[in-house]
Structure 1
Amino acid sequence: MQLPNPLKQSSFLQRLQWVIDPVGYMEKAACQYPDIFTSLSIGSNNPVVFVTEPQAIQEILTNDRKKFAALGEQNRILRPIVGDYSIFLLDGDRHRKRRQLVMPSFHGDRMRNYGELICNLTEKVFNQLPVNQVFSARKLTQEISMQVILQVVFGVYDGERSQQLKQQLFKVADLFRSPLTSSFLFFPFLQKDLGSWSPWGKFLRDQQQLDQLIYAEIAERRAENNPERIDILSLLMSSQDEAGNSMSDRELRDELLTLLLAGYETTATAMAWGLYLIHQKPEVREKLLQELDTLGDSPDPMSMFRLPYLTAVCNETLRVRPVAMLTFARVVQEPVELLGYSLEPGTALFGCMYLTHQREDLYPEPKQFKPERFLERQFSPYEFIPFGSGARRCLGEALAVFEMRLVLATILSKYQLALADNQPEIARRRGVTLAPARGVKMVMTGKRARQESPVSLVNV
């Protein structure tokens, strides 16, 4: 079978470069083949096709189960983290029904209920920062994102179980913090339990302890049976499919870990990138502060969420530094033609978010951080695609965007921050995502008073 524009290196070397330097791998390939190319191996034993041209991506993502199917088995790299019953690994009607169960948790009045909580959590974390001491912005956004997950998703607040869950969630998520440890996902032969001292053995034991805490929380919640609770775990427990069936404990566990993977690491990274990019560009920061100041001293979270320039800043952050690199795979179901190439059934295709966001024909000077792009024109869901699209579009998109805007707005309006040095942040693999390699080193120089004009700073 002739695949489009196959890269020349051996499959092992390609997989190694994909793990160690995914940005370099993608950009080098796009220099040769800007619209479509074939990777011999990036996580499976079979070649896969990268697509970066928006109209082709649209065709792939809007022909689910006809020409192209979104098969959960293509996401098996995530199975060790999220389990067999995660929505990531479900297919067909099972996938559709699970989405119908989970989707209502992220929309409508429920989102508004989370707004004040997110702003308060942000202030609680930043109020503990010492002045003029270097800190890692990503560690702080991780803390905020973790608290949001615990309270909004798990419905767990202060207390011993909250601390235990937080500790174990950090441990499980942190194994894949570097390209070296991420290699356990891409090279299955490394997934050997050689005892608690071995990396994979430690991961399995940490995950087992986390499972015990999650199942204990589910059991207590079932016994409590409180219809007034609005956290996502409670909503999932009370939801039923068309046949009146509720989710099992194992399905709940796998879905909670899916929301952790999709909502904790990714959102924390996006917010850290936002702080870095905003403080690299003083004119962006000043324009954003002027917009925030128009809301007065006690802005409503929904008013902050709707600010146009804040929205543009967050969108440009997600464009220039997308956390995810690829859409979930689609598999060709019948012989098709795409961008002039004939594809046979069984061919796996990825829409490449990173490279699409770097296209010069869509985004002139694509490496530059220019929020005004999103005020000057509207991009289609296949040109700006940080959360994927189609049947596998990220379920937690609404919560992630809501949280990102509110956290950045709260930090910028209440605290005076600066980058700690002039060292550039590069994107490095963290599990299946891209994160700032140095964690974004910053200092807080004081608290900020919100005023209409001029912008005023108050030292502490």
Structure 2
Amino acid sequence: MNRTEFELAFRTLPFLDAHADLPNGVLPIRPGRLMVWEPQALDEIFRADRGLRHPGSRSLGPLLGPKSLLWADGERHAAYRRVLGTPLRGRNLARYHGMITEVVDDAVGKLVPGKTFALADWTRQVALDIVARIIVGSADRTVLAAFTRWIDRALGSRRRTLAYRVLRGSLPESGEDLDRALVRLAKSTSDPHSLVALMLAPDNPIGRIDDGELRDQIVSLLFAGHETTASATAWTLFQLTENPRLREGVLSELDTAGNASDPAEVPLLQAVIQEVLRLSPPVEVAGNRMLTEETELLGHRCPAGTVVTPAIYLAHHRSDVFPQPRRFDPHRFLGRKGTPAGYLPFGGGTRFCLGSQLGQLEIRMITAAVLRRRTLRCVNPRAGKPALRGHAMAPSNRLRMRVVA
């Protein structure tokens, strides 16, 4: 491990902050690996994505499994996206409105006045309950509790995660009992619209999925489908709690916005969410790409086999694209058509996040329900600093909210 790799692993965010304004937006990490965040270069990478390979993450690979759709390539990856993409976008999301409302109402109802709670833990539980119902058609508390304990053991502490990687070579495995329980829960679903039911349908374009591959997809979808959404929801609630005038503006929108499912009805809330996703993106890097032929990138001649990592956090903190990049300012996105160059909270190319629309829908609906029914006060706002869970940029587990009304 060279010095750059060491700094990136052990001082991730300070290291990234120190390099955000490198003029050419590219940083060699080691021979054969580049981190890239220059907007035009990112666009070129994403446009060429179909012809690139997508090696798995050294951290998350053993966790999510070798057959995870996150590092599938070619036709099998395309088939997964065809099956899973349609129900997670556009008008099809209306199917989930009632379920999301039910889950959120129950969770908010338990936030009684006087209660102090860990914000990130609360949003993770809500997001996991929602996504479990979408993936397997139900939210088995026993199985989900075991899943949460395993993820927390692996990723809950950055130091512990690094210790696992350095001393053991990989993160702790889920274990046969949890794997069997997840597969059993998936196969017992009675919801024909659940993502598992669609994957296992006889006429699906994916083909046969054995229990090992099914386990990898359930774990991948549960993990990716709740960690990132939960982090962004927690940041949204934190920022609105710390900015009373902004909170009042969003509440004014919500007077006539129904369940906040339509972003056009809540432009200020949507701008807050977009700025949250810029300042604290769901993940700090997009998936690795491996070049399949020699390519020149930003003056670097890269041989075939070079691994290129799109750096989302760095792209979002370029001062030439986002003036005062560390300042929280939702007005960057108000009245804007489209998104700025270099804004990529959900990645890009063939790996663009399948759940991007669903995640934003959840953030809007959860935030709207909390603002309408509860007044929160952050008891330790200095703890409102990012803490990495794997590649997810979550608020610190120490961040606490108190229900004051």
Identify whether the pair has TM-score above 0.5, normalized to the shorter chain.
yes
Partner of 2:35: 50
SS of the aligned residue for 2:49 comes to coil
Residues 383 and 396 in structure 2, CA contact (< 8 A), matched pair in contact too? no
Distance (whole Å) between structure 2 residues aligned to residue 114 and residue 20 of structure 1 = 40
SS of the aligned residue for 2:35 comes to strand
- The alpha-carbon deviation at position 432 of structure 1 amounts to 2.0
- The alpha-carbon deviation at position 306 of structure 1 amounts to 4.4
Partner of 2:242: 280
Mapped pair 1:232 → 2:195: yes
Q: How does 1:40-439 map to 2 (within 5 A)?
A: 40=30, 47-66=32-51, 69=52, 71-157=53-139, 162-175=140-153, 176-183=155-162, 186-187=165-166, 190-191=168-169, 203-204=172-173, 206-221=174-189, 226=190, 229-238=192-201, 240-242=203-205, 245-295=207-257, 299-303=258-262, 306-380=265-339, 382-439=341-398
Structure 1 unaligned spans of 5+ = 1-10, 41-45, 193-199, 447-460
- The alpha-carbon deviation at position 17 of structure 1 amounts to 2.7
Distance (whole Å) between structure 2 residues aligned to residue 122 and residue 413 of structure 1 = 12
Label 1:424 to 1:98 Cα distance change in 2 as closer, same or farther (>3 A).
same
- The alpha-carbon deviation at position 373 of structure 1 amounts to 0.9
Aligned-partner residue type, residue 218 of structure 2: L
Distance (whole Å) between structure 2 residues aligned to residue 407 and residue 305 of structure 1 = 17
Aligned-partner residue type, residue 179 of structure 1: R
CA RMSD across the alignment: 2.3
**Greater Rg by CA:** 1
- The alpha-carbon deviation at position 165 of structure 1 amounts to 1.1
- The alpha-carbon deviation at position 388 of structure 1 amounts to 0.2
Residues 254 and 260 in structure 2, CA contact (< 8 A), matched pair in contact too? no
Label 1:106 to 1:394 Cα distance change in 2 as closer, same or farther (>3 A).
same
Residues 57 and 351 in structure 1, CA contact (< 8 A), matched pair in contact too? yes
Aligned-partner residue type, residue 28 of structure 1: A
Distance (whole Å) between structure 2 residues aligned to residue 34 and residue 170 of structure 1 = 40
Distance (whole Å) between structure 1 residues aligned to residue 380 and residue 80 of structure 2 = 46
Distance (whole Å) between structure 2 residues aligned to residue 309 and residue 73 of structure 1 = 38
* Structure 2 residue corresponding to 1:39, chosen from 25, 29, 41: 29
SS of the aligned residue for 1:75 comes to coil
Mapped pair 1:27 → 2:12: no
SS of the aligned residue for 2:188 comes to helix
- The alpha-carbon deviation at position 288 of structure 1 amounts to 0.7
Residues 261 and 361 in structure 2, CA contact (< 8 A), matched pair in contact too? no
SS of the aligned residue for 1:73 comes to coil
TM-score between both structures, scaled by the size of structure 1: 0.82
Distance (whole Å) between structure 2 residues aligned to residue 87 and residue 97 of structure 1 = 10
- The alpha-carbon deviation at position 431 of structure 1 amounts to 1.5
Label 1:439 to 1:232 Cα distance change in 2 as closer, same or farther (>3 A).
farther
Label 1:143 to 1:65 Cα distance change in 2 as closer, same or farther (>3 A).
closer
Residues 305 and 402 in structure 1, CA contact (< 8 A), matched pair in contact too? no
Distance (whole Å) between structure 1 residues aligned to residue 10 and residue 268 of structure 2 = 35
TM-score between both structures, scaled by the size of structure 2: 0.92
Distance (whole Å) between structure 1 residues aligned to residue 147 and residue 321 of structure 2 = 39
Distance (whole Å) between structure 2 residues aligned to residue 100 and residue 382 of structure 1 = 27
SS of the aligned residue for 1:434 comes to strand
Residues 312 and 345 in structure 2, CA contact (< 8 A), matched pair in contact too? yes
Distance (whole Å) between structure 2 residues aligned to residue 280 and residue 18 of structure 1 = 30
- The alpha-carbon deviation at position 56 of structure 1 amounts to 0.9
SS of the aligned residue for 1:98 comes to helix
Residues 383 and 399 in structure 2, CA contact (< 8 A), matched pair in contact too? no
- The alpha-carbon deviation at position 367 of structure 1 amounts to 1.0
Distance (whole Å) between structure 1 residues aligned to residue 90 and residue 351 of structure 2 = 21
Which structure carries more relative contact order (alpha carbon 8 Å, separation 6+)?
A: 2
- The alpha-carbon deviation at position 18 of structure 1 amounts to 2.2
Label 1:184 to 1:265 Cα distance change in 2 as closer, same or farther (>3 A).
farther
Partner of 1:195: none
Aligned-partner residue type, residue 217 of structure 1: L
SS of the aligned residue for 1:267 comes to helix
Residues 105 and 235 in structure 1, CA contact (< 8 A), matched pair in contact too? no
Deviating more after overlay: 12-21 vs 89-98: 12-21
Deviating more after overlay: 16-25 vs 81-90: 16-25
Deviating more after overlay: 367-376 vs 232-241: 232-241
Distance (whole Å) between structure 2 residues aligned to residue 339 and residue 144 of structure 1 = 43
Label 1:99 to 1:209 Cα distance change in 2 as closer, same or farther (>3 A).
same
- The alpha-carbon deviation at position 108 of structure 1 amounts to 4.3
Label 1:238 to 1:254 Cα distance change in 2 as closer, same or farther (>3 A).
same
Label 1:106 to 1:80 Cα distance change in 2 as closer, same or farther (>3 A).
same
Label 1:278 to 1:377 Cα distance change in 2 as closer, same or farther (>3 A).
same
- The alpha-carbon deviation at position 241 of structure 1 amounts to 4.2
Distance (whole Å) between structure 1 residues aligned to residue 4 and residue 274 of structure 2 = 31
- The alpha-carbon deviation at position 184 of structure 1 amounts to 5.4
Aligned-partner residue type, residue 63 of structure 1: A
| Per-residue deviation, residues 211-255 of structure 1 (Å, max 9, x unmatched) | 11122224434xxxx5x632222222226444x834333322211
